[in-house]
Amino acid sequence: MLLQRYVLWLLSLLLTVLLLDGCTDPKRTNRLVVIDAGHGGHDCGAQCGGKQEKALVLQIVQKLQKAFRNEGYRVYMTRGNDRFLTLGQRTRIADLKNADVFISIHANAIADKNRFEEIEGVETYFLQKTREARSQRIAARENAAVLKGTDELSKNVIIDSVLNGPKVVESNKLAIDVQRNIMRSLQRTYNGVKNGGVKPAPFYVLVGASRPSILVEVGYITNTKERNRLFDTDYQEHIAKGIVKGVNHYLDIRQKELGF
């Protein structure tokens, strides 16, 4: 009798352990994601209404780190505080850590004050040369601090050296999944969030990483409504959850394609 009870107790204990463990998909525990908060230190990024991009993206990556860990991912952040990193340092980290994906988080801005309240929305970029003037302008702004002292020829050599590999296709797929899931997550709770779509752009922060790499512009800091939302904790958490869902979807599919 005593033995029976002991066996039952042991079985229920085992079941509890299995159920608890089941909360985390075992496939995902081996995944490593590198999260990059844009700017930092002397480089404040975009500024408007007394708010700075470098502070905003730091708040978002902290929520992103938590959301990825809840899904069983290993997470590495290029910066967890207010410090400046060179472009090379950011992407080298992704390669050294052998990451599955590299995600850089930024906030957008426009120069034309008359259009501040008109331009808003979430956009996801992957590395690609483009003739589109708007994407070029956004990339130029984001690239400014990290490219100081690099001449035009070297810049083009850097970009050309990485553009024709399969990484571009993979990064494009990742960008589509992430953008779609950010929009789903935000639009479920918030009205009128504009979908700016997936776009190619020559962002240098994506050049050095030999992983599927994307840059998310979470919204426009120059738009009053969007700026207020972006600094709201709940809104930030919705962004983070959407990004994680998008990465889950991208990596689940890639895993199936590779058959492991």
Which positions lie near Zn ion, rule CB under 5 A? Answer: 38, 45, 106, 142
In the chain, count H helices and then E strands. Answer: 8, 8
Whole-angstrom Cα distance, residue 55 to residue 235? Answer: 15
- Beta carbon nearer to Zn ion, 45 or 212: 45
Roughly what angle, to the nearest 10 degrees, separates helices 166-187 and 233-258? 140
- Beta carbon nearer to Zn ion, 220 or 250: 220
The Cβ of residue 208 has, within 10 Å, a number of other Cβ atoms equal to 20
What the block records as the tokens of 44 is 């404040």
Give the 3-state secondary structure of residue 190. Answer: coil
**Cβ-proximal residues to 47 (8 Å cutoff; 6+ apart), any chain:** 53, 109, 221
**Nearest distance from C-beta of residue 39 to Zn ion, angstroms:** 6
**Tokens 């970029």 sit at which residue?**
125
- Beta carbon nearer to Zn ion, 198 or 251: 198
- Beta carbon nearer to Zn ion, 45 or 200: 45
**Nearest distance from C-beta of residue 88 to Zn ion, angstroms:** 17
Whole-angstrom Cα distance, residue 59 to residue 86? Answer: 20
**Nearest distance from C-beta of residue 70 to Zn ion, angstroms:** 26
- Beta carbon nearer to Zn ion, 90 or 106: 106
Whole-angstrom Cα distance, residue 155 to residue 131? Answer: 16
**Nearest distance from C-beta of residue 79 to Zn ion, angstroms:** 13
Helix intervals (H) in 105-192: 133-143, 152-160, 166-187
**What type of residue sits at position 206?**
L
- Beta carbon nearer to Zn ion, 45 or 121: 45
**Nearest distance from C-beta of residue 53 to Zn ion, angstroms:** 5
- Tell me phi and psi for residue 47, to 5 degrees: -135, 140
**Nearest distance from C-beta of residue 188 to Zn ion, angstroms:** 26
What the block records as the tokens of 166 is 């399969």
Output the residue with the shortest Cβ distance to Zn ion. 106
**Nearest distance from C-beta of residue 68 to Zn ion, angstroms:** 21
- Beta carbon nearer to Zn ion, 108 or 248: 108
